[in-house]
Structure 1
Amino acid sequence: MHDYLSWAPYHWPDCNWCTKGTTHLSHTDSWTMCPYVVHDGKVNPDVRTLPDSPAVVSMSQSVLYNSVAYALTKTGTYSQNAASFIDAFFLSSKTGMHPNMNFGQMVRGPGKDHQVGTFTGVLDLRGLVKVVNGINLLKAAGSADWTSARDKAMMSWMNQYISWLQTSDIGKQVASKANNHYTFYVNQLAAAKMYVGDTQGATAALQDYFSHQYLDQIAASGEQPFEAVRTRPYHYRCFNLEAMITNAKLGDQLGVNLWNAKSKYGATIQTALDYTMALNPKGEDVSDIFPHVAAIAAAYGDPAGKYAAFLQKQESNYKSTPFWFYDQTSALPNSPAAHSTHKREVGLKPMMIAFSCPAVFALSPVTELEDGLYVTCDQLEPFYLLTQPLGTNSTITV
């Protein structure tokens, strides 16, 4: 009852082994009798039969919005809402979840190996950053609803979750990955450490990311090879942008400028945003990038107005959206734009560095992007060699 549970979204039952004339398997029987295989980007609709994944998204957003509303209005209903959502999801003895993701994104099928979650399940709790932000708002606004007892209980939950992230087999698996899964893992680890007052540990986690996996995540062109190789490349480019920007924002809050961190090929987060912004989504949702355009404009400046022009063209009311209010230079005191008198763009020209296989391939000829979905260095290499955005999304079969 207290364990978070979700199914791996891209896994489908493969029962072709069933002998002719065998009685048709029930929906639930297939979960334990059929092997499941991965089809990247194709969501199995029955994953929606479990409520936990959408519930954690709704909870985290509700905590943040109600906390913002309380800070702006000092209306007690909003702080009461935020506290009650946190109680229900984390702290209640009846409904609170255990501080782990042991059963997140389980891959169904026969055998004990399919009775635990996968490394991809940690991603489901990426909204934890919003929860931490919401609680910090309640504290700063002096909410009487965020009591010392609640704070102590949440501190205990966070400390246990930090330990799980760093010591569990699943947590260690995520920490070894090279794509968006690790970027979002660092979001959670740093935010949780910040909550419990371990600012040194939070800073170390962020700096470790920017000095290791980040180095191979952005090519000189701004392409993100580990995301571009997927069947939904525009979505995944934007997804990893979200996580990279969040890591830079967390660093900014800690007094560290990570916005100018460069990949092995001399590219920054801004380079990656500019590259993705120039792409044709080709049937994917262009709105995935809107919040990230606003964030980059706030962090790096927009003197030529290219980011404003893009948003105006794509969503003319963008200044009325929540993401616009989130992304203001005044909220990023350590960003390049905050230290530029003329708010000029500070994008750095990428260096011309010869391609070499990402570090993750030093120990294995393949790396795992999702459970059961692998890619080789040779498959990624063409994306590192691009000099400008392709006119269409181009993916490699993995």
Structure 2
Amino acid sequence: MTFLKHPVLSVFFLFATLQFGIAQSNTLFENEEVRVLKLAETYKKLAPITVTASYSSRSAGGKNDFYSEGDYWWPNPEDPNGPYFRRDGLTNPDNFTAHREAMIRFSQISGGLGSAYLISGKEEYAEALIPHLQAWFIASDTRMNPNLLYGQAIKGVVTGRGIGIIDTIHLMEVAKAVTAIESSKSLAPDDLKKIKAWFSDYLNWIYTHPYGIAERDNGNNHSVCWAMQSAVFAELVGNQEVLDYCREMYKTKLLPDQMAADGSFPLELARTKPYGYSLFTLDAMTTICQVLSTPTHNLFEFTADNGRSIGLGISFLVPFVKDKSPWPYPKDVMYWEEWPVRHPFLLFGGLAFDKANYLTLWKELDGNFDNPEVVRNMPIRFPLLWVDRE
């Protein structure tokens, strides 16, 4: 920014600029604050529900193990008791989803209460969140084991897969909420230490276990989501090695390998739900930029050697968020009508690039979506946890 040379005018200009920025920020989030506080009043009355509240006989794990099943795998009509087979893009409604639903519920409660604490500073919101954190991460009878050995299993094929690690993107806003209430007097230091130890153990598992390595190297949105959640968990526990690794992975693998010259994601366009997967992947990549950017490593401004950049990706997709009718690719086989919603790439990109049109579009879109498929693919539901409003 270049300031006017006259000292009085310079001070006036600086003050006016700062006031405009504050007013713009307040306007941007005023509706979100109302939404958060309303939700928090409901969330603070809810009791914890963890993985131990339900169990599937198809799980090879124990009561403390998270279990889910591959979304697009179905019974074979010619062999009903045999191995499942894949129908890409078509979700099997008879899958076991209770653990995923419990985790999403936990994420929503954490995001809402953590955001409410940030807004108000009221201890009641932090105090209401703590029993959920204790139940999921500390209490031996109810805690989730810090691994995903049994995620996205396939009946008759495999008891768990690295691809299942994508389910824990819904712990990102839990981690963010922990950071939000870290200074609260309601959070005992020993509890905070144990919560961070759980995240550290889980981060180490997805960073070193063969399932984690397979997910990291998957090559499409799964690799992006591995880096995204690894970065968020590493940020919480202060693991600089993982933060550096994810930043380099974004710059040398994810961005240049997955984005085309026009800003699209060919691997997602080849799927049976190209629109939804494109939105999902851009959200995840932009979130990586939001989490891992520093004054010396601004990933929003980074351009790969082949010309790919996150700005290019946002520019490609924004017109189809405004109006998806000209979408030049096949319509999604399911949930075409449910997209788009209030996508974080519009918020993060709008703030990073000072694009008022992105921010306006973000505000206009639905932030109270409740379709289960949309919720499952929108792990960032509480933006106040992710941005600096100062």
TM-score by length of 1: 0.70
Deviations 1:216-273 (A, max 9, x none): 1111111111111111111101111121111111113686311122345312112112
2:174 aligned with 1:134: no
> For residue 73 of structure 1, what is the aligned residue in structure 2?
120
Task: Give how far 1:297 is off.
Answer: 0.8
Q: Kindly indicate whether the alpha-carbon contact (under 8 Å) linking 1:15 and 1:35 is maintained by their aligned counterparts in 2.
A: no
Task: Give the Cα–Cα distance (whole angstroms) in 2 for the partners of residues 272 and 187 of structure 1.
Answer: 17
Deviations 1:116-170 (A, max 9, x none): 211221010002221121111111xx31222111112122212221221122121
Could you say what secondary structure the match of 1:6 adopts? strand
> For residue 119 of structure 1, what is the aligned residue in structure 2?
162
> For residue 34 of structure 1, what is the aligned residue in structure 2?
82
Q: Kindly indicate whether the alpha-carbon contact (under 8 Å) linking 1:298 and 1:329 is maintained by their aligned counterparts in 2.
A: no
Q: Which amino acid aligns with 2:76?
A: D
Could you say what secondary structure the match of 1:97 adopts? coil
Q: Kindly indicate whether the alpha-carbon contact (under 8 Å) linking 2:169 and 2:225 is maintained by their aligned counterparts in 1.
A: yes
> For residue 6 of structure 1, what is the aligned residue in structure 2?
68
> For residue 91 of structure 2, what is the aligned residue in structure 1?
43
Deviations 1:150-200 (A, max 9, x none): 112122212221221122121111111111111111122222222222234
Could you say what secondary structure the match of 1:69 adopts? helix
Matches within 5 A, 1:197-276: 197-252=238-293, 256-263=297-304, 265-276=306-317
> For residue 98 of structure 1, what is the aligned residue in structure 2?
145
Unpaired segments ≥5 residues, structure 2:
1-62, 369-379
Could you say what secondary structure the match of 1:104 adopts? strand
Aligned residues: 306
Task: Give how far 1:314 is off.
Answer: 5.5
Q: Which amino acid aligns with 1:119?
A: G
Matches within 5 A, 1:1-398: 1-17=63-79, 30=80, 33-47=81-95, 49-109=96-156, 113-114=157-158, 116-139=159-182, 142-252=183-293, 256-263=297-304, 265-279=306-320, 280=324, 282=331, 283-288=336-341, 290-302=343-355, 305-308=356-359, 310-311=361-362, 330=389
Q: Which amino acid aligns with 1:158?
A: F
Task: Give the Cα–Cα distance (whole angstroms) in 2 for the partners of residues 38 and 215 of structure 1.
Answer: 29
Q: Which amino acid aligns with 2:83?
A: P
Q: Which amino acid aligns with 2:89?
A: G
Q: Kindly indicate whether the alpha-carbon contact (under 8 Å) linking 2:117 and 2:181 is maintained by their aligned counterparts in 1.
A: yes
Task: Give how far 1:70 is off.
Answer: 1.8
Task: Give the Cα–Cα distance (whole angstroms) in 1 for the partners of residues 290 and 109 of structure 2.
Answer: 21
% identity of equivalent residues: 25
Task: Give the Cα–Cα distance (whole angstroms) in 1 for the partners of residues 207 and 135 of structure 2.
Answer: 25
Task: Give how far 1:77 is off.
Answer: 2.5
Could you say what secondary structure the match of 1:45 adopts? coil
Q: Which amino acid aligns with 1:118?
A: R
Q: In the superposition, relative to structure 1, how do residues 295 and 67 fare at CA in structure 2: closer, same or farther (>3 Å)?
A: same
Deviations 1:269-328 (A, max 9, x none): 1211221222325534332464322221111111xx4325645776699xxx97675676
Could you say what secondary structure the match of 1:105 adopts? strand
Task: Give the Cα–Cα distance (whole angstroms) in 1 for the partners of residues 178 and 385 of structure 2.
Answer: 16
Q: Kindly indicate whether the alpha-carbon contact (under 8 Å) linking 1:219 and 1:265 is maintained by their aligned counterparts in 2.
A: no
Q: In the superposition, relative to structure 1, how do residues 264 and 180 fare at CA in structure 2: closer, same or farther (>3 Å)?
A: farther
TM-score by length of 2: 0.71
Task: Give the Cα–Cα distance (whole angstroms) in 2 for the partners of residues 134 and 326 of structure 1.
Answer: 7
Q: In the superposition, relative to structure 1, how do residues 107 and 203 fare at CA in structure 2: closer, same or farther (>3 Å)?
A: same
Q: In the superposition, relative to structure 1, how do residues 327 and 84 fare at CA in structure 2: closer, same or farther (>3 Å)?
A: closer
Could you say what secondary structure the match of 1:57 adopts? helix
Task: Give how far 1:86 is off.
Answer: 1.3
Q: Kindly indicate whether the alpha-carbon contact (under 8 Å) linking 1:4 and 1:97 is maintained by their aligned counterparts in 2.
A: yes
Task: Give the Cα–Cα distance (whole angstroms) in 2 for the partners of residues 76 and 176 of structure 1.
Answer: 42
Could you say what secondary structure the match of 1:177 adopts? coil
Unpaired segments ≥5 residues, structure 1:
18-29, 332-398
Q: Kindly indicate whether the alpha-carbon contact (under 8 Å) linking 1:120 and 1:174 is maintained by their aligned counterparts in 2.
A: yes
Q: In the superposition, relative to structure 1, how do residues 322 and 131 fare at CA in structure 2: closer, same or farther (>3 Å)?
A: closer
Task: Give the Cα–Cα distance (whole angstroms) in 2 for the partners of residues 35 and 218 of structure 1.
Answer: 35
Q: Output the aligned Cα RMSD.
A: 2.7
Task: Give the Cα–Cα distance (whole angstroms) in 2 for the partners of residues 184 and 247 of structure 1.
Answer: 9
Task: Give the Cα–Cα distance (whole angstroms) in 2 for the partners of residues 276 and 235 of structure 1.
Answer: 11
Deviations 1:337-384 (A, max 9, x none): xxxxxxxxxxxxxxxxxxxxxxxxxxxxxxxxxxxxxxxxxxxxxxxx
Task: Give the Cα–Cα distance (whole angstroms) in 2 for the partners of residues 129 and 50 of structure 1.
Answer: 19
> For residue 358 of structure 1, what is the aligned residue in structure 2?
none
Task: Give how far 1:12 is off.
Answer: 0.5
Is 215-224 or 274-283 further displaced after alignment?
Answer: 274-283
Q: Kindly indicate whether the alpha-carbon contact (under 8 Å) linking 1:298 and 1:328 is maintained by their aligned counterparts in 2.
A: no
Task: Give the Cα–Cα distance (whole angstroms) in 2 for the partners of residues 195 and 254 of structure 1.
Answer: 19
Q: In the superposition, relative to structure 1, how do residues 300 and 198 fare at CA in structure 2: closer, same or farther (>3 Å)?
A: same
